[in-house]
């Protein structure tokens, strides 16, 4: 099945297809879903899209990722029970990578010294331990680059893409689990973007922005992969503690 063409959200189409497979008994309760690589081949989509679909199914309580074993069906469902989970974090970040790469390239030719000074201040603010404040500086950094283009539509689009991450239940689920890239990575990656803008280099600015957001996608993939492992470990430890209490 090739899902590369047609409208709609790709991850949601995969969720619907898996729900249909569960409903018709192809994947009965207790069975293991095909490996991620097999699903990417079947649906002809990327790993992030498959990962997003699996997280959506986990949020519905229909599947569970088990350490070293794969993803297992916990409950049966029907397509009619499918609820729209909205746009996912991978989808938003990929859209940001495409848009903000070009925005940075335009900004490199238009940005003035006052705007560069603001970006330097914001970069310094990203280094603080208060993650909420650092995140706010990060958001402002990206919007300030958009403002350097002087295009109100671009400014609105970049702002909306950023804030969309927390209006979407699916995106919020992934991003809360992921946390931030970490102060060191955040500083280094945004520092490269700033250096390219200071050099007035559209090519370097585009590359630095795209690399930063591609790194974020990789980070989300790593985190969603390890989240199931951490949950399994915590549940195992809880069961062991319960067993120990009963054995006393």
pLDDT in tens, 40-66: 999 998 888 888 888 888 877 888 887
Indicate if the alpha-carbon torsion angle 38, 74, 57, 227 is positive or negative. Answer: negative
Nearest to 59 by CA among 178, 169, 222: 169
Better-scored residue on pLDDT, 194 or 176: 194
Q: How far is CA 55 from CA 49, 63, 73, 74, 203, in A?
A: 10, 9, 13, 14, 35
Residue 242 in any domain: the answer is no
Residues 80 and 101 in one domain: no
With a pLDDT cut of 90, the percent of the chain lying above it is: 40
Q: Which of the listed residues 85, 110, 138 is the one where a domain comes to its end?
A: 85
Residues 77 and 187 in one domain: no
111-120, Cβ contacts within 8 angstroms, sequence gap of 24 or more = 111/145, 111/148, 111/197, 111/200, 112/148, 115/144, 115/147, 115/148, 116/194, 116/197, 116/198, 118/144, 119/144, 119/145, 119/194, 119/197, 120/194
3-state secondary structure of 3: coil
CATH code assigned at 65: 1.10.10.10
Residues 104 and 215 in one domain: yes
Q: Where residue 7 falls among pLDDT bands split at 50, 70, 90? A: very low
Residues 81 and 93 in one domain: no
Full domain range(s) for residue 18: 10-85
Q: Where residue 230 falls among pLDDT bands split at 50, 70, 90? A: low
Question: Using CA atoms, how far apart are residues 213 and 219, in angstroms rounded to an integer?
Answer: 10
The total of structural domains in the chain comes to 2
Can you give the pTM of this predicted structure?
Answer: 0.64
**Token pair recorded at residue 165:** 């991450």
Residues 61 and 106 in one domain: no
CB 73 within 8 A of CB 66: no
pLDDT in tens, 59-103: 778 888 877 788 889 887 654 444 556 667 777 888 899 999 999
Residue 171 in any domain: the answer is yes
pLDDT in tens, 134-182: 889 999 999 999 999 999 999 999 999 888 877 777 777 777 666 555 6
CB 108 within 8 A of CB 201: yes
């Amino acid at each position: 099945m090739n899902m590369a063409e047609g409208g709609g959200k790709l991850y949601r189409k995969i969720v619907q297809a898996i729900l249909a497979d569960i409903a018709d008994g192809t994947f009965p309760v207790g069975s293991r879903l095909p490996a991620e690589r097999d699903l990417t081949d079947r649906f002809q989509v990327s790993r992030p899209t498959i990962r997003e679909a699996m997280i959506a199914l986990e949020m519905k309580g229909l599947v569970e990722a088990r350490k070293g074993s794969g993803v297992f069906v916990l409950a049966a469902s029907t397509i009619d029970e499918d609820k729209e989970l909205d746009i996912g974090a991978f989808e938003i970040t990929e859209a940001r990578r495409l848009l903000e790469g070009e925005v940075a390239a335009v900004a490199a030719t238009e940005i003035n010294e006052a705007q560069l000074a603001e970006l330097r201040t914001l970069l310094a603010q990203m280094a603080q331990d208060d993650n909420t404040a650092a995140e706010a500086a990060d958001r402002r950094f990206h919007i300030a680059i958009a403002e350097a283009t002087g295009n109100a539509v671009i400014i609105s689009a970049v702002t909306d893409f950023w804030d969309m991450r927390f209006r979407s239940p699916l995106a919020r689920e992934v991003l809360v689990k992921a946390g931030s890239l970490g102060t060191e990575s955040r500083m280094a990656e945004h520092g490269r973007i700033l250096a390219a803008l200071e050099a007035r280099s559209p090519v370097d600015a585009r590359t630095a922005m795209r690399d930063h957001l591609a790194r974020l996608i990789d980070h989300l993939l790593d985190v969603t992969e390890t989240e199931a492992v951490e949950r399994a470990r915590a549940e195992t430890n809880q069961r062991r503690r319960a067993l120990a209490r009963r054995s006393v």
